[in-house]
Amino acid sequence: MSEQTTSQSSQGSYVEPAFERDTRYLSARITADGREGWPVEAGRYRLVVSRACPWANRSIIVRRLLGLEDALSMGVAGPTHDADSWTFDLDPGGVDPVLGIPRLKDAFEAAVPGYERGITVPAIVDISTGGVVTNDFAQITLDLSTEWTHFHRSGAPELYPQHLRAEIDEVAELVYREVNNGVYRAGFAGTQDAYEQAYEQLFARLDWLEQRLSEQRFLVGDTITEADVRLFTTLVRFDAVYHGHFKCNRQKLTEMPVLWAYARDLFQTPGFGDTIDFDHIKRHYYEVHLDINPTGVVPAGPDLANWATPHFREELGGAPFGEGTPPGPPPVDEQVPVAHNPALAER
């Protein structure tokens, strides 16, 4: 699952005091020169995601920004899953139309018979063999930026520019440890001490980000980069899920003026907000995490149309795509229903 830990039982209960994410991934890389046996080829692979999952959301955004829709197809699993696997319940007959399978677990077992680790998204599947090549979410987006360049659209942004990589990596690691993963460490903490430590580290880092972004429009440089993508997918879920469900409740995102404006700036940038399905996000967390929310009741709020309100971040300079251009609208079959993202109706 997306929330995989070393302390998770087969029934999804969390029994250890501190949350630890299981990062034992299938980590083969798909490269331009095929040096690991997996060459970049248009139409050969399928990216499997869930719009509910922040880690998968990164790959959805990067694929959109780079214009890889024609080269790399995308299968979308439903927002809920059992303790065994993500499922393709959104597709007719509950079967992915390209891979021909009802459960993502089938693709992991095609790659590794008897596979016993987490069935996570995002995963890239080799269509001809039906097996997962990689589910290493952090490397997937970097490789889409650096190895799939032959298939990038004209005007695509450079999300991982060579001269900024050291700074992007440094910022992204801080954000991962204390924000992206920090909300989970708070939400799945098994003791008061573990929770309070995660809570304090999370909000200390958010304060640091509030200060950093008060003086610059984007996290690194004057255009969007991989670092912004990684932070955004946590911020966009903050008020809808993490504030209440994960007890990250010192403040809402809407009460942190700089981060709230920054998040809206990205949301309103083509390729970011148009990938967000708040219905899937809320259903996943509140219906799947029954240890935290035993009733499975999904809250009606908050009002999410405010993501379309003005942010005024242009005053700091910079431009999302630099000298490039924004992507066009998503393909019709990949568009998020307006009912699942009210802010789309306001744009």
d(CA 54, CA 266): 15
Strand pairing report for 131-134 and 123-126: antiparallel
As to burial, measured by CB atoms within 10 angstroms (0-12 exposed, 13-18 middle, 19+ buried), residue 148 is buried
* 184 included as an active-site residue: yes
> What count of other Cβ atoms lies within 10 Å of the Cβ of residue 192?
9
Cβ neighbour number for residue 185 with a 10 Å cutoff: 23
Task: Please confirm, yes or no, whether 53 is among the known catalytic residues.
Answer: yes
| Residue 86 assigned as binding residue | yes
Q: Tokens 């899937």 label which residue?
A: 280
* Active-site option among 25, 45, 160, 184: 184
Q: For residue 5, how far is the Cα from the chain centroid?
A: 17
3-state class of 58 per DSSP? helix
Catalytic site residue from 14, 25, 45, 53: 53
Alpha-carbon distances of 195 from 184, 185, 192, 203, 285, rounded to whole Å: 10, 7, 5, 12, 18
List, as one string, the DSSP characters of 132-149.
EEE--HHHHHHHHHHT-G
Which residues line the annotated binding site? 86
Catalytic residues: 53, 184
Binding positions for glutathione: 86
